[in-house]
Amino acid sequence: MRVTTAFNKMLDLPGAWVASVEFAEDGLVLGLGRRRARPVCPCGRRGTGSYDRSVRRWRHLDWGRSKVWLQAQVRRLDCRACGRVRTEQVPWARPRARHSRDFEDVVAWLAQHTDKSTISTLLRSSWETVDGIIARVVGEQIDSARLAGLVRIGVDEVSYRKGHRFLTVVADHDQGGRVVWAGEGRNAQVLEGFYDQLGQAGCARLQAISLDLGGAYQKATNTKVPHVRQCADPFHVIKLANEAIDKTRRVAWNQARQTPPVKRARGRPRKDAPAPARDQSRWVKHTRWALVKDPDQLKPSQLEVLHELRRSNSVLYRCWQLKEGLRDLYRLADPTDAPTHLHWWLAWACRCRIPRVRTLAKTIRANRERILAAVELGLSNSKLEGINSKIRLINHRGYGHHSAAALIAMIYLCCGGITVQLPTETRSARDLAG
């Protein structure tokens, strides 16, 4: 068998055949012959003649230890549709790419599964190259119709760069919470930008949106899509309740600190001496998890803490009862009971004389309609919270350090419903079909 035939069989490149094989200083160079006589513009139009031609190289997947380069003549054509001279589209690489399609697909597949430095070491490419490839693959693979059929969406902010920067992420509730849009920043303008991109028809189709209790997204929604039903995300409501508990706990801790612990006498205590008094402020400090965690998931020691708070009729125990009372709103067997339940809870919270809880009650009252809408429609951003932790992971893997654009491309790649097929997968599918 001739060596070119062997490479032809192994590479199985679309629209080209291996005409020559040579070893250069930087690896194996495979000269390609072309099957198609007339050049094709990236816009899809077939040209009649070529404007000029030049030789170009694309990096392909490594062969053993050596790098592999595909080398072919590319033509430029004067495209009448585009109105300018453009480089022809070759079937084995994406437009403007300096890597073959197979190479880029492997990078994108790896980016969905592992960290950036692993990819860059394994494939001997710089971080910038990896970023560029991800952006290109996402640009080609992302469903351009994803914004067309939106009816119920969720909006939330996610932080990156250790909580110093923010993105606004929009997810589609009806598509399993997949990310359909992400923008840099977390103010009203960012979300307004999304509504603008959605267009008039898209905005008119929207029915419900779940969001946090902050003012920014609410403002953008009020001005751009006033007809949409706004739902306060349950997660954010309970988070607010937990914050109220936390602040009350801090007050209790400060009070406990005012009374100094009993000093122990010098020397070894006698055998029949009473057990030393515990440090009350320290104990209060460590009640946190018992108070904020889901009661079904408490450890025995945390249950004991809760029990003790109840026995001592602590203000923290009343706080905890109020929080669980609020959580019950989302556990009602019949959601039509929600208005009555919330009414009862608000009356209870206003009577309780715990300053932080009364502040909480004010916020809840102000958002009453939106909270009830969330219960009625059963909308929550819980899937977005999952996306949040996924984005933190992406960030951690080294994709979020440089620019928001690179991070957004990665979010689309990992949370936007894109499936990247490895070259080996597509080949075996083709073999089966053939």
Q: Where along the sequence are the contacts to Zn ion (CB under 5 A)?
A: 41, 43, 45, 79, 81-82
When the beta carbons of 43 and 350 are compared against Zn ion, the nearer one is 43
Please list, in sequence order, all residues whose beta carbon lies within 8 angstroms of the beta carbon of residue 159, skipping any fewer than 6 positions away.
Answer: 165, 166
For the CB of residue 86, give the shortest distance to Zn ion in the complex, in Å.
6
Per the listing, tokens 């997660």 go with 235
Q: Which two tokens stand for residue 38?
A: 């007339």
Nearest of 193, 238, 219, 197 to residue 382 by alpha carbon? 238
When the beta carbons of 140 and 304 are compared against Zn ion, the nearer one is 140
For the CB of residue 84, give the shortest distance to Zn ion in the complex, in Å.
8
DSSP 15-32: TEEEEEEEEETTEEEEEE
DSSP state of 260: P
> Rounded to the nearest 5°, which phi and psi values hold at 101?
-55, -45
For the CB of residue 89, give the shortest distance to Zn ion in the complex, in Å.
9
How many CB atoms sit inside 10 A of residue 402's CB? 13
What are the distances in angstroms from CA 157 to CA 131, 163, 185, 216, 237? Answer: 23, 11, 8, 11, 15
Give the ranges where 234-367 is alpha helix by DSSP (H).
234-258, 280-285, 288-292, 300-311, 315-327, 338-351, 355-366
For the CB of residue 228, give the shortest distance to Zn ion in the complex, in Å.
40
When the beta carbons of 45 and 368 are compared against Zn ion, the nearer one is 45
For the CB of residue 95, give the shortest distance to Zn ion in the complex, in Å.
11
When the beta carbons of 87 and 359 are compared against Zn ion, the nearer one is 87
For the CB of residue 55, give the shortest distance to Zn ion in the complex, in Å.
22
- How far is Cα 266 from Cα 262, in angstroms, rounded to an integer? 12
- How far is Cα 134 from Cα 130, in angstroms, rounded to an integer? 6
For the CB of residue 424, give the shortest distance to Zn ion in the complex, in Å.
33
For the CB of residue 99, give the shortest distance to Zn ion in the complex, in Å.
23
For the CB of residue 136, give the shortest distance to Zn ion in the complex, in Å.
18
Q: Which two tokens stand for residue 14?
A: 């679309």
- How far is Cα 124 from Cα 120, in angstroms, rounded to an integer? 5
For the CB of residue 41, give the shortest distance to Zn ion in the complex, in Å.
3
When the beta carbons of 41 and 373 are compared against Zn ion, the nearer one is 41
φ/ψ region of 12 (left if φ > 0, alpha if ψ in -120 to 50, else beta) reads left
When the beta carbons of 74 and 111 are compared against Zn ion, the nearer one is 74
- How far is Cα 183 from Cα 169, in angstroms, rounded to an integer? 7
55 strand-pairing partners: 73
When the beta carbons of 83 and 274 are compared against Zn ion, the nearer one is 83
When the beta carbons of 82 and 350 are compared against Zn ion, the nearer one is 82
- How far is Cα 27 from Cα 67, in angstroms, rounded to an integer? 5
**Do the Cβ atoms of 122 and 129 come closer than 8 Å?**
no
How many CB atoms sit inside 10 A of residue 385's CB? 17
Give the torsion through C-alpha atoms of 404, 406, 412, 414, to 10 deg.
-110
When the beta carbons of 80 and 401 are compared against Zn ion, the nearer one is 80
When the beta carbons of 39 and 234 are compared against Zn ion, the nearer one is 39
